[in-house]
Amino acid sequence: MLEQWRKAVFEETNGLKPEDFSWETPEGIKIKQLYTNIDSENLDFKQSLPGFPPYVRGVKASMYTVRPWTIRQYAGFSTAEESNKFYRNTLSEGGQGISVAFDLPTQRGYDSDHPGVKGDVGKTGVAIDSVEDMKILFDGIPLDKVSVSMTMNGAALPILACYVVTAEEQGCQIKKLSGTIQNDILKEFIVRNTYIYPPVPSIRIVTDIIKYCTRYLPSFNTLSVSGYHMQEAGADAAMELAYTLANGKEYIKNAIDAGLDIDEFAPRMSFFFGVGMSFYVEIAKLRAARLLWHEIVSEFKPENKKSSLLRTHCQTSGWSLTSQDPKNNIIRTTIEAMAAVLGGTQSLHTNSFNEAISLPTESSARIARNTQWILQNETGITKVVDPWGGSHMMESLTNELVIRAKTLIKEIDDEGGMVTAIEKGIPKFRIETSAIAKQAQIDKKEQNILGVNKISNSDQELEEVLEVNNEEVFKHQINRLQNVRTNRSQTKVDQALKALTDAAQREEDILLELTIDAIRLRATIGEVSKALEKVFGRHQANIMNVSGVYGKYFKDELNWKEIVIGVKSFAHAQGRNPRILISKMGQDGHDRGAKVIATGFADAGFDVDLSPIFSNPKDIAKQALENDVHAIGISSLAGAHKTLVLNLLAALNSQGSNDILVFLGGIVPNCDHKQLLDAGVKAIFGPSTPVYECVDNVLEYLNANNNSV
Amino acid sequence: MIDVQELKMGNRRALAKAITLIESDRDDHRQYAKELLNSVMPFTGNSYRIGISGSPGVGKSTFIETFGQKLIKSGSKLAVLAVDPSSPISGGCILGDKTRMRELNRLDGAFIRPSPAVNSIGGVTESTHESILLCEAAGYNWVFVETVGAGQSEYKVDTMTDVFLVLIEPGSGDVLQGIKKGIMELADILIVNKADGENLKLAERTQIQYNNALNILNYPKSWKPKVLTCSSIENLGFENVLNTLNEFRLIGQKSGSWGGKRKKQTVV
């Protein structure tokens, strides 16, 4: 039979063989034109059933046929009042839980009045400085009834403490609280950079929270191990699987070392994966994740069957959204949502279509929510458990991903675990290399994206943009902070903070208990973080950069060769290479874009300086001046660009560095462009601008500027 | 062009532009650079020039970050010249040193300039020496030259600095073989970095191993190299580093080796 099919393909295609149609995924898996029973017959897990080990087919026997996944939309912005209004609205419109986004200063353990965070206050989420803010955030939302998910890692201790104290003061019994705190600090060191302390004390905090919650908040999910941010940073599916599960394993080892029993906490661990546009691979990834986690946890000999179940939340990919033709993103998000659901997720967040341009607006958030409602109610998708089960392709693909992830996990195990692997930069290096390769493929049009490298629609309708008035939020927070500080007993707060610092020095003390005491007395998030920082220190990232990866893809391309020649002739004329400082300012630690850009410029022949992440405009100006760069490239993804870039331009002016050209890249709404360009920014590059185009453009400006020594 | 007066007054921008000029490979720039150097020459020579080397990952930048802050807090002005190797393929390079010198970079008393090392192994270029002179003219009384420990560069740094520090990893004493000997003979002070936490005992053992190895070697100089330990992260051991550096200078000045070395360096 198979031979006859091969012959039919040959005839239909004028002489091509099925092998000519196979393509390799970024994970290195060869996808064939046709799968048959030969491809899946030897797979043990194929015979398993949903609700039974190894859970490939789902964590529950009945899955969505009885209860569909939870629609859980992540949101939060500006002030507690504004966010509260939004949550109440969501709940009244059928939302089934709240997922809180915090602003970056809160995530990094800074109060809103800390110098150096001003531009970020209230930008990517809600600003929380003390329990007073948290009480407003959850006003009218009974915490013993509504489950709350909090994306908090760095400042998990004070934020969880605020949540507990808010519940107490609402009159709830805290043992009834159900919700989730992300509390996954390891991935912050691998990708997102929103850490506070170094890895070792950071893991101690994770374990501390698990310990406390096991005792006092038995229904609370203490850990949501996240692969989402790795995918966003450029990891392929095998890396996302491997590093997320390896992180989970590290947490288990630490909790067991701290004296906990696996069955006490493992059932309360959950996961969080990203779902992108690689449809088949994403479905297979969730199936593979369950199988692998079951295997990993089984090594620790749990007795409770729930311990080795991988329950997961998913979110559609933010990186897959384009700023060109943004309404196409509705379609992308729908497809990704389908992959998440067909993979068997327990809850889902669907992105808003305009998120490559700005924060979601009320109407774009509604469309995102509706996408899930339609999938649940209009399609019949929920009527069958694991509909892909038995597909030769899907079973084979699941197996391939398992194999690849295992190889990567072994590499981590061989290093002695994730902490050492992180210190050596192994996962970071692999993810960054993958990110640059992916960008190069898109820039080379080997991977198609409508509106980016295919059929660009130039006349776009003007988008509606949600803008957070940062100045207002800032003033608001400062006022409330002052109120909190005047109306508390300073002596008591000082004592509580001192007790916390002392406890940090002793391994055995439970920090969360003491943090709750301090928060109850109205200590602020920043004060609590500082009290611990005295003992733990603040982590400084060791930034490494990959070079050569981008240029390799382009070395034979004509326009790339022209750019390289252009750089050389600039160097010849000036007596040195063009030099650019690539910077991240403010509290935005998402550095994928900056890294990719740095590699692209260096590969084209620029000398590239990197600033430390979390720099302030003054530091950048000083560095640019001392290094005597021709240009500065700012990467901004968290909405703080206006405040920070305008401050940078002012700082450059005041030190006489008017000859340094400033470029901006990342998420910058169109309505801000004019003001920034008028103020002196030379050009603004959107998130899907090909890197070679940026290089070419910058070079053109440098030539025009012709600044000689 | 470059205002020598501004440079001498410590104007940061003038110094930055002057170093660019020194590093330029354009003929007219070179000519002008020579003139500039001649005009600032009388104002040079008044810094403590320190070469800092060690293999990648040993923590050179973090060491400078911590030690530099200490010097500046005691009223010094510090210039750091960090040399990074260029990519052999494209000719461009990524200079990431300052990402590990966040706090030092913020201080007014610090001037940090990473430079791409064009066509030279491991790092030090002809212009590095001239850049040192410019920093001195601009009033910096400590100058660090940081290089990647790639072997040959150490010899060059040694010729342009007063003292040569080599940072070493805890545990590296176990493989103390002939290859290290070259660097050890050049080093005036060896520092076992990362002497903290679980590494503390290992670092102390490494210190002993290096000390033993040094005892076998012959020293023609008046100074017998010292092996110290420090922790850049916990800010420990730096008082000792500073004292040893001061002692080195004092002994050098007494024995006359200091002046001799300096004389060799003045040849531009």
Residues of B in contact with A432 (CB under 8 A): none
Instruction: Tell me whether residues A575 and B90 touch, CB distance under 8 A.
Output: no
pTM across the whole model: 0.86
Q: What is the pLDDT of residues A342-373, one digit of tens each?
A: 999 999 999 999 888 877 888 898 899 999 99
If one compares A266 and B185, the residue with the highest pLDDT of the two is A266
Tell me how far apart the alpha carbons of residues A106 and A113 are, in angstroms, rounded to a whole number. Answer: 11
Is A674 annotated as catalytic? no
Q: Please return the burial class of B38, using the count of CB atoms within 10 Å of its CB with bins 0-12, 13-18 and 19+.
A: exposed
Q: Stretch A199-207: mean pLDDT, rounded?
A: 95
The SS3 call for residue B236 is: strand
Give the pairing type, strands A23-24 and A30-31: antiparallel
Q: What is the pLDDT of residue A356?
A: 82
Which CATH class, in words, describes the domain spanning A549-705? alpha beta
Residues of chain A contacting residue B100, judged by C-beta atoms under 8 Å apart: 540, 542-543, 612
Cα–Cα distance for residue pair B98/B65, rounded to 1 Å: 9
B98-138 pLDDT tens trace: 788 989 999 999 999 998 876 554 445 678 899 999 999 99
Looking at per-residue pLDDT, the higher value among B187 and A234 belongs to A234
CA–CA separation, A122 and A101 (whole Å):
10
Query: What's the rounded Cα separation, in Å, for the pair A555 and B63?
Result: 38
Residue A228 annotated among the catalytic residues of the structure: yes
- In this model, does residue A246 exceed pLDDT 70? yes
Helices (DSSP H) in A523-669: which residue ranges? 525-536, 549-554, 558-574, 592-604, 617-627, 641-654
Q: What is the pLDDT of residues B23-56, one digit of tens each?
A: 998 999 999 999 999 999 999 999 999 999 888 7
Q: Which part of chain A is CATH 3.20.20.240?
A: 37-443
Looking at chain B, which residue has its C-alpha nearest residue A708?
A: B1
**Torsion of the alpha carbons at B63, B66, B71 and B77, rounded to the nearest 10:** 80
Q: Looking at the DSSP assignment, which residues form a beta bridge with residue B113?
A: B81
Predicted confidence (pLDDT) at residue A60 exceeds the cutoff of 90 = yes
Q: How far is the C-alpha of B84 from the C-alpha of B102, rounded, in Å?
A: 18
- When pLDDT is cut at 50, 70 and 90, the band that residue A444 belongs to is confident
Contact A619, A611 (CB under 8 A): yes
Please check the confidence at residue A126 and state whether its pLDDT lies above 50: yes
Catalytic residue flag (residue A609): no
Between CA B98 and CA B94 the distance in angstroms is: 11
Nearest beta carbon to residue A576 from set B2, B23, B99: B23
CA dihedral A648, A654, A655, A658 (to 10 degrees): 70
> Choosing from A163, A228, A251, A550, which is the catalytic residue?
A228
DSSP for A167-234, written as a single string = HHHHT--GGG--EEE----HHIIIII----S-HHHHHHHHHHHHHHHHHH-TTSB-EEEE-HHHHHTT
Q: Has residue B155 got a pLDDT over 80?
A: no
Q: Which residue has the tokens 């195990």?
A: A413
- What is the structure's pLDDT at A280? 97
CB < 8 Å to A575, chain B: 23-26, 29
Q: Per-residue pLDDT for A269 more than 70?
A: yes
Q: What is the structure's pLDDT at A333?
A: 98
The answer, yes or no, to whether residue A635 has pLDDT greater than 90, is yes
- pLDDT at residue A508 above 50? yes
Which of the four pLDDT bands, split at 50, 70 and 90, describes residue A708? Answer: very low
How large is the average pLDDT for residues B181-208? 85
Give the minimum alpha-carbon distance from A577 to chain B in angstroms, rounded to a whole number: 7
Contact A605 B92 (CB under 8 A): yes
Looking at this protein, which amino acid is placed at residue A565?
I
Please list every residue in chain A whose beta carbon sits closer than 8 Å to the beta carbon of residue B90.
547-548, 551, 564, 602-605
- Predicted pLDDT at A471: 85
Average pLDDT rounded to a whole number, residues A663-682: 92
Question: Chain B residues within 8 A (CB-CB) of chain A?
Answer: 1-2, 12-13, 16-17, 19-21, 23-26, 29, 62, 86-87, 89-96, 98-102, 105-106, 111-114, 116, 233
Q: Which pLDDT does position B266 carry in this prediction?
A: 58
What is the secondary structure of A545-580 as a DSSP string?
Answer: ---SHHHHHHTT-HHHHHHHHHHHHHHHHHTS--EE
- Is a pLDDT exceeding 70 seen at residue A385? yes
The CA-CA-CA angle for residues B79, B150, B100, to 5°, reads 40
Task: Write down the pLDDT at residue B268.
Answer: 45
Interface pTM (ipTM) of the complex? 0.93
CB B53, CB B165: distance < 8 Å: yes
pLDDT of A478 reads 95
- pLDDT higher than threshold 70 for residue B225: yes
pLDDT at B173 over 80: no
B92–A607 C-beta distance less than 8 A: yes
Name which of A464, A467, A465, A456 is nearest A328 in CA terms.
A456
Q: How confident is the model at residue A431 (pLDDT cuts 50, 70, 90)?
A: very high
Give the C-alpha separation, A465 to A362, whole Å.
Answer: 10
Report the C-alpha gap between A321 and A356 in whole angstroms: 6
Instruction: Provide the CATH topology of domain A37-443.
Output: TIM Barrel (3.20.20)
Selected for mutation to probe chain B from A626, A654, A658, A708 (highest B CB count within 10 Å) is A626
Tell me the average pLDDT of chain B. 84
Backbone torsions φ then ψ of A214, nearest 5 degrees:
-55, -40
Residue B46: how many other CB atoms lie within 10 Å: 10
CB-closest option in A547, A567, A626 to B12: A626
In angstroms, the separation between the Cα of residue A627 and the nearest Cα of chain B is 5
Q: Which CATH superfamily is domain B44-265 in?
A: P-loop containing nucleotide triphosphate hydrolases (3.40.50.300)
Average pLDDT, chain A: 92
C-alpha separations of B154 from A624, B180, B265 in Å: 28, 12, 15
CA-nearest residue to B3 within chain A is A709
Q: Do A548 and B29 touch (CB under 8 A)?
A: no
Quickly count: other Cβ atoms within 10 Å of residue B44's Cβ.
Answer: 18
User: Contacts by B194-202 with C-beta closer than 8 Å and gap 24+?
Assistant: B194/B59, B194/B169, B194/B170, B194/B231, B194/B232, B194/B233, B195/B170, B195/B229, B195/B230, B195/B231, B195/B236, B195/B237, B196/B231, B196/B233, B196/B234, B196/B236, B199/B170, B199/B171, B202/B170, B202/B171
Nearest CB to B90: which of A551, A611, A656? A551
Q: What is the mean pLDDT of residues A258-273?
A: 95
Question: DSSP H helical segments within B59-163, as ranges?
Answer: 60-73, 102-106, 126-137, 152-160
Residue B89 pLDDT greater than 80, yes or no = no
Please determine, for residue B179, whether its predicted confidence score (pLDDT) is greater than 50.
no
User: Mean of the pLDDT values across residues A178-203?
Assistant: 94
The pLDDT > 90 percentage for chain A reads 75
> What pLDDT does residue A699 have?
96
State whether the Cα torsion A444-A449-A454-A457 is positive or negative.
Answer: negative
- How far apart are the C-alpha atoms of A471 and B77, rounded to whole Å? 38
**What letter does residue B197 receive in the DSSP assignment?**
G
Counting one residue from chain A and one from chain B, the pairs whose CB atoms sit within 8 A come to 125
- Lowest mean pLDDT across A223-232, A598-607, B96-105: B96-105
- Which residues on A lie below 8 Å from B94 (Cβ)? 545, 547, 598-599, 602, 608, 610
Which residues in chain A are closer than 8 Å to B111, comparing Cβ atoms? 626
Q: A352 is written with which tokens?
A: 């808003």
pLDDT for res A34: 95
Taking contacts as CB-CB distances below 8 angstroms, the residues of chain A near B62 are 540
Question: Per-domain residue ranges for chain B?
Answer: 44-265
Nearest one of A440, A444, A438 to A600, comparing CA atoms: A440
Residue-level pLDDT at B52: 92
What is the spatial distance between Cα A661 and Cα A700, in angstroms, rounded to a whole number?
A: 12
Would you call A602 and B87 a contact, using CB atoms and an 8 Å cutoff? yes
Strand order in the sheet with A179-181: A74-75, A98-100, A148-150, A179-181
Site from A561, A609, A654, A707 to mutate, B interface, most B CB atoms within 10 angstroms? A609
Tell me whether residue A443 is one of the annotated catalytic residues.
Answer: no
CA-closest candidate to residue A85, choices A123, A46, A140: A140
Closest alpha carbon to B163 in B54, B245, B220, B55: B245
Q: Inter-chain contact B116–A612, Cβ cutoff 8 Å?
A: no
